[in-house]
Amino acid sequence: MHELSFHETTFEKCLKCNACTVSCPISNTTLDFGGPKHLGPELKRMMDHQEVIDDSRIELCTLCGTCDTSCPENVHVSTLTSYAKAIHAKEKGTKFRDIVLSNAELVGKLASTFAPITNMTMKIKPVRKVMQMVLGIHADRQFPSYEFSNFKRRYNKKHATTERKVAYFTGCYATYNAPDVAGSFIKVMEYNGIDVAIPEQKCCGVPMFANGQMKQGLKNAQFNTNSLLEYTRQGYDIVMTCTSCTSAFKKEYASYLKTEEAKELARHIYDADEYLRILNEEGELNTNFATINAKVGYYAPCHMKGQGIGNPAMDILELIPGFEIQDMAAGCCGQCGTFGFKEEKYPYSLELGKTMATAVEELDADYTVTECGMCKNQLDQLTNKQVKHPMQILKSAYEKVPVNS
Amino acid sequence: MYDVIVVGQGLTGLLSAIVAKKQNKKVALVAKGTGKMLQSTGLMDLVPGSNKDFSQWMELYGLSNREKITVKDAINEFKRLTEKIGYQYVGDVDKLANIVTSSGHLKSTALYPKTITPIPEKGRVVIVGFTEIVDFQPEFLKGNLQKERPNLQIKTMSVSLGKDSQRTLTQLDAARVLDEKESREQILKQIKEKMKAESTEGVDLFIFPAALGVQQWEEVHTQFSSELKAKVTEAPGLPPNATAIRLHERLRKEAIKLGVRFYADTEVNGFSEKGTINEITIKMSNRSAKLQSYHLLICTGGILGGGLEQTAKGLKETTLHLSVNKEGSYVDLPDHVYPVGASLGTNVIHYGITGGVYSIVSSYLTNFQMEQSDMRGLQRA
């Protein structure tokens, strides 16, 4: 585990070329942010072997990882900014609100237990005004709804018996907010003759890293690594339906934990669409889809784009007859996980989301498809199109096939 | 399985991917970093750092008169594309334009965006800097420009963007500020006030840093020239120049919208040939994956782009690890592998870059080569 003054050498390759700042969604929206170059490699260069510097401008970094993708020298900029966040949280303390927001899992557990009440309460204006005053969560920010019948109550198989075995890391969003996504994934796997097990798991840690809660985040990372390795070592593939969780396991765990175990696990992590694409390439995918006549817009989450996997959601959805899907090439959604809930970040969040909202309006498709629950939250608030997860579409494409065909 | 895999997302890579995709091919683009267009001026030169004309350029690249038409087609295709994506390029390879850079030196260029106006021989010029942008110094520009154009009457002024910033501002930041209507208005107001105070009149041309808007460049340009009652130009200099960023952002967006699959933040670390199929291994953050294609386009930008590396033993090719000669050209090029633009070796570059026009032409020609190869394949089958 890193200390706050951890040693990291990739930043030495930084040529200060500005590619990260030029590409950074926040830097392109506001001059209030110091930018990834300055708060990443430059700050690190200044601190190395010297005193730790707390720079409050780091609060505006959303850890979207676009800086990492843009760097021609392979500097892990977001690793540096995540530690700048941890330093800031340690020096300045963490707001009660940020502790709450970073504990997406705990919030999910509580909120789904009292789901009908939570969902209703979150829509009452005076309550939200009080929440803004007391907690600093913006009153106008729509919340995703919670479901009492969360995924844990619906499905809890611990072992798979088929030849191809999948262990599903559900993640907080599909567990508490969108159990239908999780359920659809299980169904899609079923149509492909693959048994799915649900390993013991905790929140992937992304909201914690984003709020400077590095210690707690790394604790979760360690827990998940131990738990999931037990599965991969028995021949399971780890599949996820949330691209931020996937990105954490593929990228962050390995570069934060810096252990052989984290690297070993990372090799077995697949995004759900990426996994289906592999099945297709190996001739194992059930391609008996019913026709779905729809014109659909695809919105690519930042954490998907950073994985270097092309566009697996579109690759798979294009296999459905009649299905017309177009990438909107729309930049960052601006919700950025917990960022868009915060009172003082809300105006930035809306500004960031403008290009996305315009792209959705211009395309004027039947509905929007995205893998990310948080992008969906912003899409729900800023556009009037319905938003679906690829797994929900695939499930209905399988289900609509006439029984005797 | 792809029809075409493009390695690199600079000018050459993006153009090649777009051209191929327009032929209804399945196209993937593999890239490490954003490509080097961000560091460029966005101007398309024939031979960078020289005044060589079109016929000298044709000779330099060993192109015959017969190929002139193809070259012109490539350029027209580029102009059509830039118009379609909302950032139109103008200019003519037969008649090079003199453009001023932010150092005040003139350079000859063939194609340039509509935000740029060539520098006249004589007339009244005002150079406007932004106090917050340290990379653009109007007095410095004036000194050098005066030497190049002794008959110009040059004045300078600095106005404020009127924004507090938490970082050192670049031309790109200023350009995004100018995308906002209120900012444009307060900047124009300052310029007019200063002109009045110094009784500056009858100005022919205003020179600004390459910062006249990103998304709204057309509005900025029109508003500035109509309110200042003069022509307006941008003088590109230290990166990031809005002139280049506009092109890069729009080409990328166009490629994504057309359906090119971007494998961002990956590196090629293996290559093999299986008959007519190329297979590359790409390294992602967590593991490696194999991608297959009929054609493989190397658009890695030569030495500057990282496709070639200067070592003690000479040049090394970094993408496929194939052998290259001392000019960096492939010695034994496998069938269906096409180096494009600066990847063809040091013979096609000057001061490290092709300059632009050659990249445009090379991307276009490669597409023909691929088509011919496909036809031969069909004939055999």
Question: What are the pLDDT digits (tens) for A272-307?
Answer: 999 999 999 999 999 999 999 999 999 999 999 999
How many residues in total does chain A contain? 405
Mutate one of B257, B265, B293 to test the A interface: name it (highest A CB count within 10 A): B265
Judged by DSSP in three states, B104 sits in: coil
B90: part of which helix (H) or strand (E)?
strand B89-90
The number of beta carbons lying within 10 Å of the beta carbon of residue A389 is: 26
- Distance, in Å, from the CA atom of A63 to the CA atom of A207, rounded to the nearest integer, reads 10
Q: Chain B partners of A71 at a C-beta cutoff of 8 Å?
A: 33
Q: Which residues of B touch A (CB under 8 A)?
A: 28, 32-36, 38-39, 163-170, 172-173, 176-177, 239-240, 245, 252-253, 256-257, 259, 261-266, 282, 284-287, 289, 306
CB contact under 8 A, A328 and B257: yes
Which residues from chain B sit within 8 angstroms of residue A232, using beta carbons? none
Average pLDDT value for residue range B236-255: 97
Identity of the amino acid at B212 = L
* Residues on chain A touching B173 (C-beta within 8 angstroms): 31
Q: Where are the alpha helices (DSSP H) in chain B?
A: 11-22, 54-60, 68-84, 138-148, 171-178, 181-197, 217-228, 242-258, 302-305, 357-380
Phi-psi region of B365 (alpha: psi -120 to 50; beta: other; left: phi over 0): alpha
Q: What percent of chain B has pLDDT over 90?
A: 95
Supply the mean pLDDT for chain B.
96
Distance CA(B254)–CA(B247), nearest Å, equals 10
Which residues in chain A have Cβ-Cβ distances shorter than 8 Å to B237?
none
Chain-centroid distance of CA A160 in Å reads 26
Nearest to B116 by CA among B132, B98, B137, B134: B98
Determine contact, residues A383/A402, Cβ cutoff 8 Å. no
Q: Tell which phi-psi region holds residue B14, choosing left (phi > 0), alpha (psi between -120 and 50) or beta.
A: alpha
Tokens of B171: 């031309």
Q: Which of B39, B167, B280 to mutate to test the interface with A (most CBs of A within 10 A)?
A: B167
The Cα B377–Cα B381 span in angstroms is: 6
Looking at residue A4, what is its pLDDT? 52
Residue B325 neighbours by CB distance under 10 Å: 13
Q: What pLDDT shows up at residue B377?
A: 79
Distance CA B24, CA B240 (A): 33
**Beta strands B123-130 and A387-388: pairing type?**
unpaired
d(CA A255, CA A250): 9
Whether B292 contacts B278, CB under 8 Å: yes
* Domains, in order of start, for chain B: 2-45+246-380 (3.50.50.60), 117-235 (3.40.50)
Q: In which band, very low, low, confident or very high, does the pLDDT at A1 lie, cut at 50, 70 and 90?
A: very low
A:16-35 residues touching chain B, CB 8 A cutoff: 17-19, 21-23, 27-28, 31-35
Task: Enter the DSSP assignment of A401.
Answer: S
Please indicate if any CB of chain B lies within 8 Å of the CB of A315. Answer: yes
Which chain B residues are Cβ-neighbours of A23 within 8 angstroms? 34
Q: What is the C-alpha to C-alpha distance for residues A31 and A54, in angstroms, rounded to an integer? A: 19
pLDDT at residue number A48: 82
**Confidence at A5, pLDDT banded by 50, 70, 90:** low
The distance of A277 to chain B (nearest Cα, Å) reads: 11
> Which A residues, 253 through 292, put their C-beta within 8 Å of a C-beta on chain B?
254, 266-267, 269
Angular region, A135: left φ>0, alpha ψ -120 to 50, beta rest: alpha
CATH of A286-399, one of 1.10.287, 1.10.20, 3.40.50, 2.40.50: 3.40.50
Strands B106-109 and B97-100, by their bridges, are antiparallel
Asked if pLDDT for residue B200 goes beyond 90, the answer is: yes
Task: State yes or no: pLDDT of B318 exceeds 80.
Answer: yes
Q: Hey, is the C-beta of A403 within 8 angstroms of any chain B C-beta?
A: no
Beta strands in B299-371 (DSSP E): 308-311, 314-317, 337-339
- CA distance linking residue A121 with residue A279, whole number of Å: 44
Contacts of B67 (CB under 8 A, 6+ apart): B58
Tell me which chain A residue has its CA closest to the CA of residue B266.
Answer: A308
Give pLDDT tens digits for B59-115.
999 999 889 999 999 999 999 999 999 999 999 999 999 999 999 999 999 999 999
Of A33, A254, A314, the CB nearest to B166: A33
pLDDT of B183? 97
Cα A110 to Cα B157: distance, rounded to the nearest angstrom? 62
Own/partner pairs for A201-204, CB < 8 Å, 24+ apart? A201/A169, A201/A170, A201/A227, A201/A228, A202/A105, A203/A103, A203/A104, A203/A105, A203/A171, A203/A172, A204/A169, A204/A171, A204/A172, A204/A242, A204/A244, A204/A245, A204/A248, A204/A249
Q: Give the SS3 label for residue A260.
A: helix
Q: Report yes or no: A327 at the B interface, CB cutoff 8 Å.
A: yes
**Average pLDDT of span B164-189:** 96
Q: What is the rounded average pLDDT of the residues B263-291?
A: 95
Q: Which two tokens stand for residue B305?
A: 């782009």
Check CB contact under 8 Å for A17 and B239.
Answer: yes
- Bridge partners of B77, per DSSP, are none
**Nearest CB to A72: which of B34, B168, B257?**
B34
* A227 interfacial to chain B (CB closer than 8 Å): no
pLDDT surpasses 50 at A368 = yes
Q: Which of B164, B264, B306 sits opposite A31 (nearest CB)?
A: B164
How do strand B112-113 and strand A367-369 relate by DSSP bridges? unpaired
B307 and B301 Cβ atoms separated by less than 8 Å: yes
Q: Is the pLDDT of residue A47 over 90?
A: no
Residue from B21, B28, B12, B24 nearest B296 by CA: B28
Q: State the span(s) of chain A assigned CATH 1.10.1060.10.
A: 10-92
A81 pLDDT band (50/70/90 cuts)? very high
**Percent share of chain A, pLDDT over 70:** 97
Q: For domain A10-92, is the CATH number 3.40.50.620?
A: no
Per-residue CA distances from A27 to A37, A42, A237, A330, B166 (Å): 10, 16, 37, 16, 10
Residue of A nearest to B39 (CA): A17
- pLDDT, average across residues B210-214: 98
Q: How confident is the model at residue A400 (pLDDT cuts 50, 70, 90)?
A: very high
Can you give the pLDDT at residue A219? 97
Q: Is A397 in the B-facing interface, judged by CB distances under 8 Å?
A: no
Q: Looking at residue B341, what is its pLDDT?
A: 97
Q: How far is CA A328 from CA A89, A296, A359, A367, B252, in A?
A: 36, 10, 6, 12, 12
Question: Which backbone phi and psi does B203 adopt, to 5 degrees?
Answer: -75, 135
Distance from CA of B352 to the nearest CA of A (A): 17
Q: A119 CB near a chain B CB, below 8 Å? A: no
A294 phi/psi in degrees, rounded to 5 = -155, 150
Cβ <8 Å between A329 and B257: yes
Delimiting residues of CATH 3.40.50 domain(s) in chain A: 286-399
Q: Is A250 an 8 Å CB contact of chain B?
A: yes
Q: For position A237, what pLDDT does the model report?
A: 98
Selecting from B259, B284, B306 the residue whose C-beta is nearest the C-beta of A72 gives B306
What confidence tier does A49 reach under pLDDT thresholds 50, 70, 90?
Answer: confident
Closest-CA residue to B104 (of B151, B67, B139, B150): B139
| A320 near B CB under 8 A | no
